[in-house]
Every structure is written in C-alpha cells, then in structure tokens.
Amino acid sequence: MVFSSLFFLYLFLPLCMLSYAATKTIKSRNTVLIIFSLIFYAWGEPLYVLILILSAVVNYILALLIERYRDGTGAKAALVFSLVFNIGMLGIFKYSGFIAENINAVFSADIEPPDIRLPIGISFYTFQIISYIVDCYWEKVHAQKSFPKFLMYVSLFPQLVAGPIVRYSTIESEINMRRTTIDDLSSGITRLIFGLSKKVIIANNLSTIVDSFFGSEIKGLSVMGTWYAVILYAMQIYFDFSGYSDMAIGLGRIFGFHFDENFNYPFICRDVSEFWQRWHISLGTFFRDYLLYLPLFGKRRKYANLFLVWFCTGLWHGASWNYVLWGLYFGLFIFIEQLVGKKRMKKIPIAVKHVYNKLVIIIGFGIFYFENMKELGNFFKNLIGLNGNKFIDSFVTISLENNLYLIIAAVLFCFPVAKAVGQLVQKSRRFCYVTGTAQVAVNICLLLCSSLLLVDATNNPFLYFRF
C-alpha cells in the first residue's frame, strides 16, 4: 500500500483516524496504530510482515538484556548479536544476489544468485532498530519494557516503508503519552496534502519526461538532452522523496507524533557538504552518529572513516556498483572541501560555489540513475558530446515548450518561496482569518487535483520504496 493511492487516502486513512479517535486511552490508541500498521505493511508484503515482527521480537529481548547486564559482558554480547542479526537480515534480503554475482564475476564461479524479493522498507526499519539498540547500549535511552509499545515504534506506518529514520529518543515520551491538538491536526493534514501534491503533481510528471529521455538507449541523446533530463531527474527525486517525508511527518502529527525534518531545501546549499546536511537528514545523521565518529581506523585516520561512511551510504541505497560509486563520488568532494577548509571555502565567490556544487550534485544524480555501467559511461560521454551526438535537437526544445510551466513550478518549489510568503502573511494579525481560509481552499484544490491525477494511475510507487 502506498500513501499516494485513492484507497489509502479515502478508505484506509479515514478508517484509521476514526478508530483512533473513538478510543480514549493511550494503550488502546497504540493498539489501533499497531493493527493498522501491520495491515498497511501486510497489504503488499503478506509474508514479510513476519520478518518485521521477528526483528521486533529479537531486538526487544536483546535491548532488555543490555539493560539487565549493563555492567557486564552480557550487554556487549547482546549488542554484538543484535548488530549481526540486523545487518545479517539486511544482507540476506538485500545483498545476497549482489554478492553472488560479484563472486561469479571475480572467481569465475557458478553460484546461482538467490531470487529473494526485497521486503519493502527493510533498510529503514532495520536502521531504526539499530539506532535504538546502540542508544540503549550507550545509555541514551532506556529499553522499552512493553513489547506492544516497541512493536508500534518499529511498525508505525507513517514512516515504515520509506522513512524518515525516526530514532526512539525522538518519540520515546510520545509513545507513552501524547495528545493531538487542533494545531497538530491542521498542520498534519496540510503537510500530508502538500507532500501528496509534490509526489503526484510534480514528481510523477517529471518522471514521465525523464523516462522519455533516459528510458531507452541514451547514446543518441544530444548534449542538452542529457543535461536537461538529468536536471529534471534530480528534481524528480527531490519531490518524490521529500513528498513522502512530508506525508510521513504530516501523518505523524495527526496521531500526535513529532518526527524530525528529513529535507531542508537542499538545493539552496552553497557547497556539497551543506547539501548533505539538508538532504535525507535522518540517514546522514545516522551515519554521522553511529559510524563516522567511531575510531575504526584510529583517531588519526578520520578520512578513512569518512570514505567508509560514504561507501556505506551508497551501498545502503541499493545492491549495485553505481550506488557505491555515487556514494564515494560525494565522499570525494566532501573530502576535498574538508582539505580546503571552511575559512578558504567562505572566501570563494558565492556564485562560483553555487555553480560548482550544482554541477557536482546534478552529475551525481546521473550516477544514481544508471545501474548499467555501459549506460553510465554513455551518460558521461553525452554530457560533453564524446558520442558524436548533437549539441541540441528538436526533442529537447519541444519537451521544454510543452512542459515549461511544470519545470518553472518545480524550480520555484525547490526553494523556500512558499515558506517565505507564508511567513510574511503570518506576521500580520489582520490576515489571520484570511490566511486560515486561504489555506483550507488551497488544501482542497491540491487534494482534488492530486485525486484526479490518481484516478488513472495504475502504478504509483515512491522511488525510495526499493531502498
């Protein structure tokens, strides 16, 4: 089941909200969320919901063991077992085929790659569980004594299948006690509708354009056609994933949870390091807190840790070498920026920094798109015309003319334009009533437009479902 479906919007979610509102105690409300969350996950993964429950059971017990044997070797043993179990589960379901293929390629072996379907959201809920276990070991949080409450944390449907990666410490108190205010409900619904609009109105339409350029052999694309398509793909990824995050955060607010932000207008960044402080924030902070500062290679070899983090960041996104290359590519530029230093980076003219980082980011998304190494090579050649292709052709100009308004809207909403306008209006008390009325009207219009576009949509997955 996906958020951007009429079934979810007009049946599943209303039933969940009504059932939630009909209960009065926190225990019964948690039970409602557990039931609907497991139904939500089992709708598309009827068997793999058992994997989710198994992970919850095993890690619930291990966290209690860590708490019980805090000062002994039992805590370390429970931590190690948890890491082996969780990373092992991720390795089996996500990377076993990739490992077999590479062993065959390197050693001329004949291992049959296992045909294992990837459970949706396993990367996200596994990292949530790991953060919980490590925080228990570091005594940042206490182990949850109630299994139903822990199961709710692991399975909570708003952020289960595509993030953000919500840490237990963020919602620990809200698991035990929370209430949904009128402001929570209003803000949550607005955020939900805005996220839906990002996905359905902008991302899906950008996807159609990108597929028309990159969906087949790209060797014959013009130089401008290649740049045009990869720029649109960068915006498509942003609106698709940030749209999901907005919907997840909005749904959380509706049920009284306050998740951390996952995107903060990344394209306004002044360098590559800042881009990754604004993009997929929950993943970046996970690797920063649980891997970057661990002295795995010694305190004097911090750059080895840096490249390990970016290797893992790339590999987390998928079992393919282009994702590893993509991670190390960004790691290299962050390494260069660290060598240059913050003081010297500040002295570079702002226009130069914007051109530099946008080129790096856009090319990076091209690496992200092409899993086939031959096609990735053609992509790089196309960027500078080494395939003997034209500089520009009618395919590009016609596409640009036909989609001009969509592209302008996409570019504008990559930046905090709407946020700035809203803040200006909110400063004047005279417009409070008008603003509230206008917000309702905008929400209704966006929901209707999105719903109409979803009527004929047969397959409407979020891009990060496959990670």
Catalytic residues, by residue number, are 317
Q: Can you list the alpha helix ranges (DSSP code H) found in 138-222?
A: 147-155, 168-176, 182-197, 204-214
Q: What is the DSSP letter of 119?
A: P
320: its two tokens: 């393919």
- The number of angstroms, rounded, from the C-alpha of 79 to the middle of its chain's C-alpha atoms is 26
Q: Report d(CA 267, CA 278) in Å as an integer.
A: 8
Q: Report d(CA 167, CA 23) in Å as an integer.
A: 26
Q: Are 125 and 41 in contact (CB under 8 A)?
A: no
Q: Cβ of 39: how many Cβ atoms within 10 Å? A: 15
Q: Report d(CA 136, CA 130) in Å as an integer.
A: 10
Report which of 466, 455, 413 is spatially closest to residue 200, judged by C-alpha positions.
455
Q: Report d(CA 242, CA 399) in Å as an integer.
A: 25
Q: Report d(CA 267, CA 411) in Å as an integer.
A: 10
Place of tokens 């899906």: 204
Place of tokens 């394209």: 267
Q: Report d(CA 226, CA 254) in Å as an integer.
A: 42
